[in-house]
Amino acid sequence: MNHANSLDKQALMAALELEEKGYTFFKETASKSSNSFAKEVFDFLAGEELRHIQAIKKFNVEFLKGNSIETDGLIEAIKSGKSKSAFERLFKHLSETAPIAGTELDAYKFAMDFELQGEAFYKKAQVETADQNAKKLYGFLVGEERGHFKIVESCLAYFENPSEFFHQREKWHLEG
């Protein structure tokens, strides 16, 4: 195995570990959450991480065999496993008075940091890999992590200031 393949193998194993840690965190946080909305959000994110784990494992198996894998197919499989409106459905049930415990706010802040770290990891892996299919996969995962960050950021914004959240979301304006 040449040096480039060794680095790619290490990056894939690290990616798998990162996604597994994310899955565990989101599942555990969902199960501990006393707020139904927070529970739904963290369950949704756990499902996202699980799809990433499956795709990385599939890619890794073929990569280790020295086979070229159709990355576009893996990316489409990840995309098809989730509803385009899943996040919108989550916000549909919000009320401006939904309470949240401080520990859940801390979980949102941790989740945002986790997703930013994941995004940075995949950006670095994308730049460093020589394998074009791995570049595609990492590039897609950069976008996924960015999307997850935005979801968690929106949730945190809602729970920190529901009135302002709805104001920004609806783009309300005052007419005078």
pLDDT at 126: 93
Question: Average pLDDT, stretch 76-99?
Answer: 54
Which range in 41-45, 154-158, 160-164 is most confidently predicted, on average pLDDT? 41-45
pLDDT at 76: 78
pLDDT at 78 over 90: no
Confidence tier at 2 by pLDDT (50, 70, 90): low
| pLDDT tens by residue, 3-55 | 457 778 888 889 999 999 999 999 999 999 888 888 888 999 999 999 999 99
The pairs formed by 52-57 with CB atoms below 8 angstroms and a separation of 24 or more are 52/19, 52/78, 52/141, 52/144, 53/16, 53/19, 53/20, 53/23, 55/137, 56/12, 56/15, 56/16, 56/19, 56/137, 57/16
Q: Which of 39, 47, 40 is nearest to 23 (CA)?
A: 47
DSSP state of 35: S
For residues 166 and 172, give the distance between their C-alpha atoms in angstroms, rounded to a whole number.
Answer: 8
pLDDT at 119 over 90: yes
CATH 1.20.1260.10 assigned to domain 3-170? The reply is yes
Higher pLDDT, 57 or 106: 57
Confidence tier at 118 by pLDDT (50, 70, 90): very high
Q: Nearest-5° angle of CA 155, CA 46, CA 156?
A: 10
Task: State the pTM of this model.
Answer: 0.78
